[in-house]
Structure 1
Amino acid sequence: MLKLFSADDHIIEPAHLWQDRVPAKFREDAPRVIQEDGREYWVYAGTRGETMGLSAVVGRPRDQVNLDPVRFSDMRAGCYDPAERAKDLLSDGIYASVLFPSLPRFSGTLFLTFDDKELSDVCVRAYNDFIIDEWCPAGPPGLYVPTIICQLWDPEKAAQEIHRCADLGARAISFPENSVPLGLPSYWEPYWDPIWRACEERDIVMCLHIGTSSWRPEPTPDAPEVLTFSLLHVGSIMSSVNLMMSPVCRKFPGLKFVFAEGGIGWIPNALERADRFWVRHRVYNNTDDILPSEIFRRNMYLCMLEEPTCLRYRDDIGVDRIMWECDYPHNDTTWPESQESAEMTFREAGCSQAEIDAITHGNAERVFNWKMASADALAPR
């Protein structure tokens, strides 16, 4: 059996998360669940959300996957119950899991939209406390990688939160792949330096999931949504090249960026093209001697699901840059057939055992500085 470290999974936040953790004066406006018209809704800051469980369809037959669940009872318990999730992951040979939020959006950008930033702040802290104090301890040691969010509207406050959570064991942060579509300064601006500095100092891995900028590729507005889904990796292409060319990793060389769910096959072309333009347009762009590809090979990592054809270019990508992901509990998840899926992918790509070990878990253990749960770990009580 392969030992798998998933660099991309998602939690569906339980209804009590914020109501149990924010001060009383914020409870009416903090996220809570109501029942109406036979379904459950999240409500927050005077708004009723339309999605109960974002693509939380794990365990359903493929021909029964359609709209998002409308009640917690429509979901597999492992979506929102960390103890049940642990049983699911361990049964599939997954011994470590990086967690992205759902209701707050994959990088916490929901709280950026609240008018009351004091409310936003307590909601961010409540989410992080839940992950560190409740979700992660519900699995055996090493199963859940504590992954936090931060106060995107205030980098100094965000840096303080990163240090606070790092003291409590946090190892990663979910962060937007691009700030500009969110109405924030670009990553080329020093606005973000407190966050970069805190993550570098505390060795916090920056996880940039597709779709976290709020931008979606929609070349044909009247096409079915599957067109957008098939192009979401474009966000990772733009995000990675933007950061490769930006001052960020030149100023903070110890940063580590992991691009979740963006795939791997595009990177040889992106690097070749970025380097060529970096050199040929050097004079009037005043570029330095550090090629974009050098930044990639020092600071960046990619995640893949089932890409046997792309994996044949692993030497061009760099075997040490590739991580495996499960994407539990979304439509694309490999659960409960992660072993079969991974074995097929590596077999068709012709990978050696050393390459398989690196991609399935070795790279992630090194980058996140994390020891996975034991292969004989029992599901929690």
Structure 2
Amino acid sequence: MAASTAGPGIEIPPIISVDDHVIEPPHVWQSRLPSRYVDIGPRVVTAPCEISYVGGVFSWTEGTGRPTSYWYYEDLHYPMVRTHSAVAFPRDELQMVGITFEEMQPGAWQVAPRLGDMDIGHVDASLCFPSFPRFCGQAFAEASDMDLALLCVQAYNDWMVEEWCGESGGRLIPLCLIPLWDVELAAAEVRRNAERGVRAVCFSEIPPNLGLPSIHSGYWDPFFAACEETSTVVCMHIGSSSKMVSTSADAPGAVGSALVHSNATYSLVDFLMSGVFVRFPSLKVAYSEGQMGWLPYILDRVDVVWKENAAWGGVADKVPEPPSTYYRDHVFVCFFDDKVGLANIDAIGLETITTETDYPHSDSTWPHSKELLASQMGHLTQPEVDAICRDNAIRMLGLDIPTAAELRDQAAV
């Protein structure tokens, strides 16, 4: 894969995208669940649908509107939306409407076309978040039959490792789910997948929004311990708390879209103030689709609050050092279009920054990711570009693939 020119003498290496998405093929659960669950486990049905997204709330009406592929699971009917496979449509046709599998970009849900689209988009390797289970598998945590829910989590992880990633020649990087409703089961699932090479797991950025304990409670410590023990990165996508920021019930979707970083901001402050990084000194967490331009202020603010409010702030006994000092050893962030963040990499920490393309969603920079990066990175040095586009992701995920410099050396031979 050829490099792309940024500034004078600067090249964009083949990208490792740490935040893309997969739309699960219809067979994922039907082919893996016991036969007694086939009729209530996740399955695809096509039916008419009308969809609305206002005030940060996604809603729909079944039985009227355009044909739409739904996931049916227990009593849940969840429609697929055109923005989930946005790269298949011109920007001016990206309405919030239903979509069928036949209308989707094939690479959204099939391995071979995905690899072809990655080649087109200058992407060497990709970490993909789920779609139907939602970004941390919370659909299964909300189920009625928890035995079935556990089987669904395990079936997804088996499919992710064996099919989606197993058939990609190492270019698709496994990202697994946990049973969020039971921390001991969650720890066991981390270890089960780590034994077959998985080094990334989904988690909610704000668990209380899902009715789960906060990270301040200590409840999640067995899960964090398993992640630390296995060098598994805790990956938190914006919206993995099933609650997006908006300003009012009638605010248009663009308001929430402009504020999507807020969930990542709240979550990072939680982690920095919780003492989790003190108790687990090797734990790594990663924030997806939250961009990074907001970080310099927040890292400064948490230190001011920690110092000035030590008497009543409730963290002095749990966090012995200024909270920002834990950031660079524990946290990764990613971006796809963030001039402000790239202008402040010294304050953010070069070693914490990774790249995403968000394929195939509506924010995706595919197929122009390398051109966009080149337009925003002209002021950086080649080692900085290499770290952000490729090398930091290799280190974050423990990937056994060449660094950017190694690729250039290979090409020169």
In the comparison of the two structures, how many residue pairs are matched? 373
Report the residue type matching 1:19 in the other structure: Q
SS in 2 for 1:133: helix
| Unpaired runs of at least 5, structure 2 | 4-12, 49-66, 409-413
Report the residue type matching 1:66 in the other structure: Q
Higher mean Cα deviation, 321-330 or 43-52? Answer: 43-52
1:263 touches 1:305 (CA, 8 Å); kept in 2?
A: yes
- Find the partner of 1:16 among 2, 18, 27: 27
- Alignment pair present for 1:165 and 2:193: yes
- Find the partner of 1:238 among 245, 262, 266: 266
Measured in 1, the distance between the counterparts of 2:359 and 2:47 equals: 28
- Residue deviations 1:316-360 (CA, integer Å, cap 9, x gap): 11111111100000011111111111111212xx11111000000
Residue 290 of structure 1: aligned partner: 321
SS in 1 for 2:254: helix
Residue 397 of structure 2: aligned partner: 368
1:181 touches 1:215 (CA, 8 Å); kept in 2?
A: yes
Report the residue type matching 1:93 in the other structure: H
- Alignment pair present for 1:269 and 2:297: yes
Counterparts of 1:96-245 in structure 2, within 5 Å, are 96-141=125-170, 143-245=171-273
- Find the partner of 2:40 among 13, 26, 29: 29
Measured in 1, the distance between the counterparts of 2:112 and 2:332 equals: 29
Measured in 1, the distance between the counterparts of 2:402 and 2:142 equals: 37
Kindly state the Cα deviation for residue 67 of structure 1 after the two structures are TM-superposed. 2.5
Measured in 1, the distance between the counterparts of 2:243 and 2:69 equals: 27
Report the residue type matching 1:309 in the other structure: V
Percent identity over the alignment?
A: 36
- Residue deviations 1:160-185 (CA, integer Å, cap 9, x gap): 11111111121100110011111111
- Find the partner of 1:328 among 355, 359, 366: 359
Kindly state the Cα deviation for residue 372 of structure 1 after the two structures are TM-superposed. 4.0
SS in 2 for 1:98: strand
Measured in 1, the distance between the counterparts of 2:273 and 2:178 equals: 24
Kindly state the Cα deviation for residue 309 of structure 1 after the two structures are TM-superposed. 2.7
Q: After the TM superposition, which parts of structure 1 deviate over 6 Å for at least 4 consecutive aligned residues?
A: 373-376
1:96 touches 1:372 (CA, 8 Å); kept in 2?
A: no
Report the residue type matching 1:119 in the other structure: L
- Find the partner of 1:82 among 95, 104, 111: 111
1:200 touches 1:255 (CA, 8 Å); kept in 2?
A: yes
1:57 touches 1:69 (CA, 8 Å); kept in 2?
A: no
Higher mean Cα deviation, 167-176 or 50-59? Answer: 50-59
Q: Could you tell me the TM-score, scaled by structure 2's length?
A: 0.87
- Alignment pair present for 1:93 and 2:122: yes
Residue 345 of structure 1: aligned partner: 376
Kindly state the Cα deviation for residue 70 of structure 1 after the two structures are TM-superposed. 1.8
| Unpaired runs of at least 5, structure 1 | 377-381
Kindly state the Cα deviation for residue 140 of structure 1 after the two structures are TM-superposed. 2.2
- Across the aligned residues of Structure 1 and Structure 2, the Cα RMSD in angstroms comes to 1.6
1:302 touches 1:322 (CA, 8 Å); kept in 2?
A: yes
Q: Structure 1 residues 268, 117: CA separation in 2 closer, same or farther (over 3 Å shift)?
A: same
1:209 touches 1:261 (CA, 8 Å); kept in 2?
A: yes
1:53 touches 1:72 (CA, 8 Å); kept in 2?
A: no
2:79 touches 2:98 (CA, 8 Å); kept in 1?
A: no
SS in 2 for 1:367: helix
- Residue deviations 1:274-299 (CA, integer Å, cap 9, x gap): 00110111123350422110111110
Residue 379 of structure 1: aligned partner: none
1:56 touches 1:69 (CA, 8 Å); kept in 2?
A: no
Measured in 2, the distance between the counterparts of 1:157 and 1:140 equals: 30
1:55 touches 1:69 (CA, 8 Å); kept in 2?
A: no
1:12 touches 1:54 (CA, 8 Å); kept in 2?
A: no
- Alignment pair present for 1:260 and 2:291: no
Residue 387 of structure 2: aligned partner: 358
Kindly state the Cα deviation for residue 248 of structure 1 after the two structures are TM-superposed. 1.2
- Alignment pair present for 1:299 and 2:330: yes
Residue 55 of structure 1: aligned partner: 84
- Find the partner of 2:276 among 225, 248, 271: 248
1:98 touches 1:147 (CA, 8 Å); kept in 2?
A: yes
Report the residue type matching 1:92 in the other structure: G
Measured in 2, the distance between the counterparts of 1:170 and 1:26 equals: 27
1:95 touches 1:373 (CA, 8 Å); kept in 2?
A: no
1:365 touches 1:372 (CA, 8 Å); kept in 2?
A: yes
- Alignment pair present for 1:64 and 2:75: no
Residue 349 of structure 2: aligned partner: 318
- Alignment pair present for 1:5 and 2:16: yes
